[in-house]
């Protein structure tokens, strides 16, 4: 039994709560226990840096301090939470001025930057392993032609070594392949979806997300797979903001696990772009259509 | 050492007429030589950016790589490598009043690709703060939204999505923008309708206020 501290983040507590449930269910299946951080708070996301650099460090440090109290490595499924927490943790460990500043602000909480922050792909690859993932895939996903979409902050954190290639990451491709999906190569793995400007500039976001969607269609994919709740939402919104364009369903990686392990997903009704066609295409272990 | 009599090394005036421009936005310094004065952009803006961002900007050799990889460069009034160039030249007003610094999505592509390790995204992030502080910001929507997000965190400890979006729409007077989209999202449970209050929110609120007061906001 492996235990990790778990920092869901604001998105998984509200707009992407089905991702939270999916992640817990799949990791529980593999015997990875998630201990949700007690009383965690927002990481500051893209908003804090506009106000003050110290705010960025302190908001991220609060959750790191909570995680250090537990003494376990920290899983942050949201890319923004992951990037902010990971960058802050390394900064706190390596820079005395930052460490003193955050500890003074947060007292009696304190942190030293000893906790290792991990994303969903890292957790699956390091704690479950490709062989176990491949062996556990009960349902056949051969009808899913997936493009893996990593987005910005999973592999691009300035000054922080990435566990995957910055320009052409492959971690999610390896997992999808192990699960039995057809992994379609494409060039838009790490393009920006429009990020946090969904509300302030929906036209701009729609253009970037729309382009990613178009490229996925052109690559011959039937589904886009991601791990970031904001990427998922921005791509899912294409159906509203680009009315005449083709739209593929956008899944969280853990939902593909759900398909492979259980044959169905729980959060199907939460998708703005309907996921029914994919769900119907899943073959039962015997080979017959469900 | 600059030898004024040298036939090979001549000080040429820079492409922009700094003396004429100095009256407007560029800070200049004059280095006096025996029979010639060298006029250079004052490095005060470069200093301001470098100190505030903790990034060395002056190493830029204008390879355009940042601009080439930027997903929103075509929507910018000043493309990323030119922003850097203007910072080095001391064009404070030009940079801080640009819309480009607000068009940036902070996707970090420029920063990870820069051959000189210049964290361009962070430079732009710093320019945003300076432009707000100096009252020069060309666009206030991003700052407004970011401010409302932090407000929400200050109140609840976590982002309260519905409240933040509604407050933004109200202050922009965009009452009916994207209503069909919003309704579909609500129907499918894709907007947090209830706040998530953390237990320790009072302490967190005090911490955020102290930092905000430090910025004079």
Structural contact between residues B114 and B95, judged by C-beta atoms closer than 8 angstroms: no
Domain boundary among the residues B79, B109, B133 is at B133
Bond preceding residue B28 cis, omega within 30 of 0 = no
Residues A227 and A19: their CA atoms lie apart, in Å, by: 9
Domain that holds residue B105: 44-133
Q: Which of A176-190, A267-281, B9-23, B189-203 has the lowest mean pLDDT?
A: B9-23
Inspect the interface and report whether the beta carbons of A49 and B125 lie closer than 8 Å. yes
Q: How far is B66 from chain A (nearest CA, A)?
A: 14
Which residues of chain A from 222 to 261 reach within 8 Å of chain B, CB to CB? 233, 236-237, 240-241
Inspect the interface and report whether the beta carbons of A10 and B146 lie closer than 8 Å. no
Q: Are residues B81 and B162 in the same domain?
A: no
Q: How confident is the model over B55-70, as a mean pLDDT?
A: 95
Q: How confident is the model over A2-19, as a mean pLDDT?
A: 96
Residues B4 and B7: their CA atoms lie apart, in Å, by: 8
Contacts with B207 from chain A: Cβ below 8 Å: 58, 62, 105-106
Q: Which of A207-216, A238-247, A259-268 has the lowest mean pLDDT?
A: A238-247
Count of CB atoms within 10 A of residue B190's CB?
A: 23
Q: How confident is the model over B69-78, as a mean pLDDT?
A: 96
Select from B128, B190, B214 the Cβ nearest to the Cβ of A50: B128
The reported pLDDT for the residue numbered A285 is: 77
User: If you measure CA to CA, which chain A residue comes closest to B146?
Assistant: A47
Inspect the interface and report whether the beta carbons of B145 and A47 lie closer than 8 Å. yes
Residues A201 and B99: their CA atoms lie apart, in Å, by: 13
The reported pLDDT for the residue numbered B1 is: 44
Q: Are residues B116 and B150 in the same domain?
A: no
User: How many structural domains comprise chain B?
Assistant: 2
Inspect the interface and report whether the beta carbons of A13 and B143 lie closer than 8 Å. no
Residues A141 and A181: their CA atoms lie apart, in Å, by: 5
Q: What is the pLDDT of residues A138-150, one digit of tens each?
A: 999 999 999 999 9
Which residues of chain B from 78 to 137 reach within 8 Å of chain A, CB to CB? 103, 105-109, 111-112, 119, 121-122, 125, 128-129, 132
The reported pLDDT for the residue numbered B21 is: 53
pLDDT at B11 > cutoff 70: no
Q: Are residues B129 and B54 in the same domain?
A: yes
Inspect the interface and report whether the beta carbons of B147 and A47 lie closer than 8 Å. yes
Q: Are residues B48 and B128 in the same domain?
A: yes
B94 inside domain: yes
Q: Indicate the length of chain A as a whole number.
A: 290
Residues B110 and B117: their CA atoms lie apart, in Å, by: 10
Residues B81 and B68: their CA atoms lie apart, in Å, by: 9
Q: Are residues B160 and B208 in the same domain?
A: yes
B36 inside domain: no
pLDDT band of residue B216 (cuts 50, 70, 90) is low
Domain boundary among the residues B113, B133, B153 is at B133
User: If you measure CA to CA, which chain A residue comes closest to B107?
Assistant: A152
Domain boundary among the residues B133, B149, B180 is at B133
3-state secondary structure of A262: helix
Q: How confident is the model over A259-278, as a mean pLDDT?
A: 95
Interface with B, mutate which of A15, A44, A205 (most B CBs under 10 A): A15
Structural contact between residues A72 and A35, judged by C-beta atoms closer than 8 angstroms: yes
Going by C-alpha positions, the residue among A13, A73, A23, A2 that lies closest to residue A43 is: A13
Q: What is the pLDDT of residues A190-241, one digit of tens each?
A: 999 998 888 898 889 999 999 999 999 999 999 999 999 999 999 999 999 8
pLDDT band of residue A287 (cuts 50, 70, 90) is low
Residue A130: beta bridge partners?
A: none
User: If you measure CA to CA, which chain B residue comes closest to A55?
Assistant: B211
Structural contact between residues B181 and B169, judged by C-beta atoms closer than 8 angstroms: no
Establish, for the pair of chains A and B, how many residue pairs have beta carbons separated by less than 8 Å: 162
Q: What is the DSSP letter of A39?
A: T
* Distance, CA of B26 to chain centre: 19
Q: How confident is the model over A167-180, as a mean pLDDT?
A: 97
Q: What is the pLDDT of residues A16-42, one digit of tens each?
A: 999 999 999 999 999 999 999 999 999
Interface with A, mutate which of B129, B150, B209 (most A CBs under 10 A): B150
Does residue B75 sit at the A interface (CB-CB below 8 Å)?
Answer: yes
Going by C-alpha positions, the residue among A46, A34, A92, A21 that lies closest to residue A194 is: A46
The reported pLDDT for the residue numbered B12 is: 47
pLDDT band of residue B30 (cuts 50, 70, 90) is confident
List the domains of chain A with CATH numbers.
2-118 (1.20.1050.140), 130-281 (3.40.50.11810)
Q: How far is B216 from chain A (nearest CA, A)?
A: 10
Structure token pair of residue A128:
């479950």
Q: Are residues B68 and B120 in the same domain?
A: yes
pLDDT at A290 > cutoff 50: no
pLDDT band of residue B4 (cuts 50, 70, 90) is very low
Structural contact between residues A212 and A191, judged by C-beta atoms closer than 8 angstroms: yes
Residues B38 and B89: their CA atoms lie apart, in Å, by: 15
Helix or strand holding residue A115 (H, E): none
Does residue B215 sit at the A interface (CB-CB below 8 Å)?
Answer: yes
Residues A207 and A225: their CA atoms lie apart, in Å, by: 19
Helix or strand holding residue A183 (H, E): strand A182-183
Which residues of chain B from 36 to 65 reach within 8 Å of chain A, CB to CB? none
Cα–Cα distances in angstroms (integers) from residue A260 to residues A50, A275, A288, in the given order: 42, 15, 15
Q: What is the pTM of this model?
A: 0.90
B14 inside domain: no
Contacts with B112 from chain A: Cβ below 8 Å: 156, 158, 166
The reported pLDDT for the residue numbered B43 is: 78
Q: Are residues B123 and B182 in the same domain?
A: no
Q: What is the DSSP string of B70-129?
A: -TTGGG-SS-HHHHHHHHHHT-HHHHHT-SHHHH-----HHHHH-TT---HHHHHHHHHH
Inspect the interface and report whether the beta carbons of B181 and A241 lie closer than 8 Å. yes
pLDDT band of residue B2 (cuts 50, 70, 90) is very low
Q: In angstroms, what is the C-alpha Rg of chain B? A: 23
Select from A39, A152, A200 the Cβ nearest to the Cβ of B198: A39
pLDDT band of residue B19 (cuts 50, 70, 90) is low
Structure token pair of residue A132:
């176990």
Q: What is the pLDDT of residues B113-158, one digit of tens each?
A: 999 999 999 999 999 999 999 999 998 899 999 999 999 999 999 9
Count of CB atoms within 10 A of residue B217's CB?
A: 13
Burial label, B213 (beta-carbon count in 10 A; 0-12, 13-18, 19+): exposed
Inspect the interface and report whether the beta carbons of A50 and B112 lie closer than 8 Å. no
CATH code of the domain in which B73 resides: 1.10.1060.10
Q: Are residues B116 and B56 in the same domain?
A: yes
Residue A146: beta bridge partners?
A: A183, A223
Interface with A, mutate which of B137, B207, B215 (most A CBs under 10 A): B207
């Amino acid at each position: 039994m492996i235990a990790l501290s778990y920092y869901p983040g604001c998105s998984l507590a509200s707009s992407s709560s089905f991702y939270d449930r999916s992640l817990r269910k799949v990791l529980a299946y593999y015997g990875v226990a998630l201990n949700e951080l007690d009383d965690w708070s927002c990481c500051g996301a893209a908003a804090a840096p506009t106000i003050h650099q110290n705010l960025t460090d302190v908001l991220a440090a609060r959750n790191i301090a909570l995680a250090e109290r537990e003494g376990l490595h920290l899983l942050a499924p949201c890319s923004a939470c992951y990037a902010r927490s990971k960058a802050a943790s390394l900064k706190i460990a390596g820079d005395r001025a930052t460490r003193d500043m955050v500890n003074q602000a947060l007292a009696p909480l304190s942190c030293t930057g000893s906790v290792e922050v991990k994303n969903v792909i890292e957790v699956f690859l390091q704690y479950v392993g490709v062989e176990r993932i491949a062996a556990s895939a009960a349902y056949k996903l051969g009808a899913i032609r997936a493009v893996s979409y990593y987005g910005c902050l999973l592999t691009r954190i300035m000054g922080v070594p990435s566990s995957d290639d910055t320009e052409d990451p492959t971690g999610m491709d390896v997992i999808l392949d192990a699960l039995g999906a057809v992994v379609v190569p494409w060039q838009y793995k790490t393009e920006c979806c429009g990020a946090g400007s969904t509300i302030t500039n929906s036209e701009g976001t729609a253009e970037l997300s729309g382009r990613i969607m178009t490229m996925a269609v052109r690559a011959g994919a039937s589904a886009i797979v991601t791990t970031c709740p904001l990427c998922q939402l921005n791509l899912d919104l294409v159906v509203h903001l680009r009315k005449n364009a083709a739209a593929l369903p956008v899944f969280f990686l853990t939902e593909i696990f759900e398909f492979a392990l259980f044959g169905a997903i729980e959060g199907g009704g939460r998708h703005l772009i309907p996921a029914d066609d994919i769900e119907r295409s899943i073959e039962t272990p015997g080979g017959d259509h469900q | 050492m600059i030898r004024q009599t040298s036939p090979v090394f001549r000080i040429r005036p820079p492409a922009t007429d700094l003396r004429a421009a100095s009256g407007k936005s560029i800070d200049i310094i004059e280095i006096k030589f025996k029979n010639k004065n060298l006029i250079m952009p004052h490095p005060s803006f470069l200093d301001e950016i470098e100190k505030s961002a903790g990034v060395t900007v002056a190493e830029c050799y204008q390879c355009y790589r940042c601009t080439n990889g930027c997903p929103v460069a075509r929507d910018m009034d000043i493309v990323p490598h030119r922003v850097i160039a203007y910072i080095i030249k001391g064009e404070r007003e030009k940079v801080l009043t640009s819309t480009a610094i607000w068009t940036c999505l902070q996707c970090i592509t420029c920063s990870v690709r820069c051959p000189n390790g210049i964290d361009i995204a962070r430079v732009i992030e710093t320019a945003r703060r300076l432009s707000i502080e100096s009252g020069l910001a060309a666009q206030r929507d991003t700052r407004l939204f970011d401010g409302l997000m932090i407000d929400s965190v200050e109140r609840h400890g976590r982002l309260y999505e519905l409240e933040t979006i509604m407050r933004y729409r109200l202050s922009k007077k965009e009452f009916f923008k994207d209503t069909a989209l919003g309704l579909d999202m609500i129907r499918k449970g894709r907007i947090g309708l209830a706040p998530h209050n953390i237990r320790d929110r009072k302490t967190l609120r005090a911490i955020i206020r102290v930092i905000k007061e430090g910025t004079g906001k």
